[in-house]
Structure 1
Amino acid sequence: MDISGNTGVNTGAGAGGNTGASGGKKYLVTGGAGYVGSVVAAHLLEAGHRVTVLDDLSTGHREGVPRGAEFIEGRVQDAAKWLDASYDGVLHFAAFSQVGESVVDPEKYWVNNVGGSTALLTAMRDAGVRTLVFSSTAATYGEPTAVPITEDAATAPTNPYGASKLAVDHMISGECAAHGLAAASLRYFNVAGAYAAASGVIAGERHAPESHLIPLVLEVAQGRREAISVYGDDYPTPDGTCVRDYIHVADLAEAHLLALDAAASGEHLICNLGNGNGFSVREVIETVRRVTGHPIPEIAAPRRAGDPAALVASAERAKDRLGWRPNRADLAGIVADAWQFCQERANE
């Protein structure tokens, strides 16, 4: 199966020069060398917009910046150096996102995720840039009392990563009310899959260390990991393992472009992004077996503290307010795209 992507032609030159379409709008994408940010940047370019990627490459990858985007290696804390009134908006992905790391090194998350966002909001206000789409997370909800999770559910994050994202959501709400910012926070559930941009750049998950289930199971299929650990098999779910909502990264990216159009002055729109369906850990493992043709040994392990039995999104608000629908909800297709990306990387 081909990686989900736009097969059109991008006439921009290599990354590093802003040679995207002369029309459209101009956007700053912070963290645009990372997994989700790079796919969103590619979608913006393919829609005819001009894109500047700002990334310090602490977790992103230079080769992930889509061709046709201007690239600035720098920190989001210093966004004021480059942000000016020529920009129509900002899409903000620059954040650390490892839950486990946030527990043992919380100050890193407050300084970067919250401090960086504070500096960015100040730079936007000073430059007169009044539209923002923020990469938020389902981790803001913590352990839900009911599923599917709606946006009016209680927010009670169980780790500093989720708390830092929630703090930024509160900051954005204040900025909208006090200064007329037009903003949308998109709370992702489990992002997966890979995307082949029109420029030829393929973006997929490549975290270090890897903590997401699908790429971890694919590492077993590649022979890079002996087995996959299943943390708990006695949850109140159909097969006893945790259930999660997986969304294809290309569907996620499309929601960001719609959010730019939907953002209204003085309003902070918060939308969940998910398929509204859950897949268990064992269903993911079995799907990887089918897609790759490789056996995937399992190791039974105790439950991890703070792992809810099920996390499934209600994306009705995104459908109503953004006009968004996930078009790549098939788990086998998501896994197949991710598997192709893993094989491409193995051949590099």
Structure 2
Amino acid sequence: MSEVLKKHEKTDRVVVRITYLVALFILIALIIWGVASMINHWRYTYTNDAQVQEYINPILSRANGYVQEVRYTDHQKVQKGDTLVILDRDEALVQKELAQAAVTSAEAQLRVLESNQTTANSSSSINQAKIDAAQAQLWQQQKEYNRYKILLENNAVTQQRFEDIETKLKVAEANLESMKRTYKTSLNRTNDVSAQIEVAKATIEEKKAALNRIYLDLKYAVITAPTDGYMGKKNLQIGQLVQKGQTIGFIVDQNQGKWIVANFEETQIANMHEGQEAKINIDAYPDKTFTGKIESFSPATGSQFSLLPPDNATGNFVKITQRFPVRIQFTEEDQALVKLRAGMNAEVKVPKS
């Protein structure tokens, strides 16, 4: 019996010693952790309210139409200019043919008017020549009239003959006046044709503008990637009606890089400044530490940019520590950056200056 008791006592002593050792190790670990935490708290300004950010651009339709083809899948990597969606273009093609026919008709009308202008100019030249001839004839008749008038005064010619010469003079004067009026009419006709030509030219420009508008619609019916990046979720289906200005998807822009938005408490940013270095740990890759620098501070707290900003002038007031978004740019070119995705959680430490 005594041997059993001795055996139990020995076992208890071993258990107690092990317990003491475990407790000692735990205590030492807690002390080390506490000291390390105090050192980190003393050396760094820390926040775990941070995320990886990238530009996520909406892709908008610039034309109306039904979806004919969708050439991308969820999360597909695309290059700038890759075709994403094709809208039905049959109606626009018919409109293009009508617009081209309208331009051709307007150009033909312009050619007719230009031909009429040439004819009118020729007619004006002919009438000008007739005026010159009528003036010469009038000059001749005036001379003849003056001679016969002198002869009549000397009774060297009969009154009837003088009246015939006088009548011819009046006919020549009337003919000259008629030619002048005809010439003026031809000039007016030429001016009218010139005005019609200007109208025809403006009509052609209008028809061409309408045709160019249709060409744009045909171009916009093919929706392409605006930049290099990764597509988001595909929401379009073949046959779906798309309106101008409608968002057909989102693309994560790879050309403008990645950065961190860290939300520091207002009590932490007093000694922080732009250009200050920062250490970044991404939750998805805990073994990797990235470096960056503070690029800018938000001009207002995050709550001020919310849909319904708080109004402390109403109701009961409870003081809440506010947070300021701080933009931190990565400063190293690391292959691991390629694996980072927008929205990943991060922890940021900024050395205290």
Normalised by the length of structure 1, the TM-score is 0.15
Tell which structure's C-alpha radius of gyration is larger: 2
Higher relative contact order (CA 8 A, sep 6+): 2
More helix by share: 2
More strand by share: 2
Normalised by the length of structure 2, the TM-score is 0.15
